[in-house]
Structure 1
Amino acid sequence: MTAFFFLFGLIFGSFFNVVGLRVPERKLFSEERSYCPHCHKPLQWYELIPVFSWLVLRGKCSGCRQPISPMYPGMELFSGSFFALSFWFHGWSPLLIYALLLGALTHILIVSDIKYMVLPTPIILFFLAAFVGYFFVAPPDPLWSPIAGGLLGAGMTALVILVSKGGMGGGDLKLFGLLGVVMGVKVLLLTFFLSALLGALVGGVLLITKVISRKQPIPFGPFILISACIAHFSGTMIIDWYLGSF
């Protein structure tokens, strides 16, 4: 079943790529087929097989031979691995639904933020509704946790935006508000800390290696989302270790 969930994640990962790329351009429900972004050649079904097609084509369009971004197979592998890990970790329990929703949210928003530096509001609202629906299946404990987490997530981010004069954006505020509703106060605080740590480490490496310049903006959404995934699977262990060490 774990292998099945890996394949399941690969297939859905291909769809998540489409959602992340099309929603910011308001083309999600367009009947237009997927095409090469360079020569606009429509892609055939055998060019859309997750990961496999990219490998067979050697990462290049079959028409113009321009490179196809490794983000596509990389994110498909992310969803495959995340879905498999979610089933291995939670089995057939309500938390499996929670984890799969978190994985889908992470995939879609990372694609959007990397491509356009945008965290689309419609995606955030859709997943807010989806997680509220999940709470009817598995009510949070305590019941006020989503409200407190949402207020804290949005409030902390608003404070950072004010103090840093734009160091974070409105999309980050909405995302932290959503994650606060979804995760509750304790796990949200861990996610906030981990995202700042990851952002500082990766940003520092990119600056040292001159991949980016000092004033060049980089998307912060991926750091938030990856931190949320880490906190979901390992949050209790990390928090217990921290409280036991200090």
Structure 2
Amino acid sequence: MFLAYLFLAGLVFGSFFNAAGRRIPAKISLITPRSSCPVCRRKLTFLELIPVLSYLFLQGRCRGCKSPVSIVYPAVELSAAMLFVLAGLRFGCQGELVIALALISLLLIVFVSDVVYMVIPDAILCFFLPFFVIGRVLVPLEPWHSSLTGAIAGFLLPLFTVVVTRNGIGGGDVKLFAVIGFVLGSRLIFLVFFLSAAAGTVLGIAGILAGKVKRREPMPFAPAILIGTLASCFYGQQLIDRYIQFMLV
């Protein structure tokens, strides 16, 4: 029942993440106006706002003008549901679960924002930061200063990349890494950065081969950060241990 609740909560919150990721960068209220089709501007009914199921029932098209609906909507909703369940399995009913759920929420919102607008607004990071600070006061990392050193490392690592590659990564990404470093600590932030860079390379090559991305054309980095962060959050210590074992063989 606990995992079922997390799954349903993920679906509902996933719908909100879509709205937040699209509205906050455009400086539109999260409350009004009601959700509508971006093409014909028709207000969506309750049955058209059911996570995932509405997309499947309407075959990915607006009920009014029949224009295609972005696959990002159901993808984020379903991803939120699955990640909430994975967090429940990984951390159980303890304080770390709340922090993990908040981190998942942040990453999915900035994912939408970066994919749609190529920007990670400070407003999103500033909203979540107090929750993470309170969370790490109540559920501290070991050692106690790991959050602070993680935040510093999370800021300096991508900043060094910006200097070397001359704006190869956005300022929003740099600040996002700092927040992630505070949440996961100094031990895991290096793994987050490495996995994010690797995921970004793979996604970039895949985008070029699929004809979706042009060479030397900027692309959203938040999807890669999401992959690297969640892999480190859920399996970071196991990955580090296996790497150490591999190096010692």
Same fold by TM-score greater than 0.5: yes
TM-score computed with the length of structure 1 as normaliser: 0.97
Q: Secondary structure at the match of 2:34?
A: coil
Partner in structure 2 of residue 222 of structure 1: 223
Q: What is residue 212 of structure 2 aligned with on the other side?
A: 211
Contact in 1 for aligned 2:199/2:227 (Cα 8 Å): no
* SS of match in other structure, 1:24: coil
Calculate the aligned-residue CA RMSD, in Å. Answer: 1.1
State the 1:20 CA deviation.
Answer: 0.8
Give the count of matched residue pairs: 246
List, as ranges, runs of 4+ consecutive aligned residues in structure 1 with deviation greater than 2 Å: 208-211
For residues 109-154 of structure 1, give each alpha carbon's deviation from its aligned partner in whole angstroms, at most 9, with x where no partner exists: 1000000001111111111111001122212221211111111111
Distance 2:57 2:209 in 1: 35
In 1, the alpha carbon distance for the partners of 2:14 and 2:31 equals: 19
Q: List runs of 5+ in structure 1 lacking aligned partners.
A: none
Q: How far, CA to CA, are the matches of 1:29 and 1:208 in structure 2?
A: 37
Counterpart code for 1:12: F
Q: Which residue of 1 aligns with 2:119?
A: 118
- Distance in 1 separating the partners of 2:90 and 2:196: 23
Task: Quote how far apart the aligned CAs of 1:30 are.
Answer: 4.6
Q: Is the 8 A contact 2:203 2:224 kept in 1?
A: no
Kindly indicate whether residue 5 of structure 2 is the aligned counterpart of residue 4 of structure 1: yes
Instruction: Write the deviation string for residues 25-71 of structure 1: whole angstroms up to 9, x where unpaired.
Output: 11134521000011111111111000011111110001110000010
* Mapped partners of 1:42, 1:99: distance in 2: 34
- 1-structure distance, mates of 2:141, 2:91: 17
TM-score by length of 2: 0.96
Secondary structure, aligned partner of 2:141:
coil
Which residue does the alignment assign to 1:90?
Answer: 91
Say if 2:108 is the partner of 1:102: no
Q: Does residue 1:137 correspond to 2:142, yes or no?
A: no
The Cα of 1:182 is off from its aligned counterpart by: 0.9
Q: How far apart in 1 are the matches of 2:189 and 2:203?
A: 21
Equivalent residue number for residue 166 of structure 2: 165
The answer to whether residue 187 in structure 2 is matched with residue 186 in structure 1 is yes
- Distance in 2 separating the partners of 1:216 and 1:134: 38
Q: Is contact 1:106–1:226 with CA below 8 Å preserved after alignment?
A: no
Contact 1:195 1:224 in 2 (8 A): yes
**Which residue of the partner structure matches residue 69 of structure 1?**
70
Q: Is contact 2:136–2:183 with CA below 8 Å preserved after alignment? A: no
Specify whether residues 125 and 161 from structure 1 end up closer, same or farther in structure 2 by C-alpha distance, changes over 3 A only. same
Deviations 1:147-169 (A, max 9, x none): 11111111111111011011001
What residue is the counterpart of 1:31 in the other structure? Answer: 32
Q: Is the 8 A contact 2:120 2:172 kept in 1?
A: yes
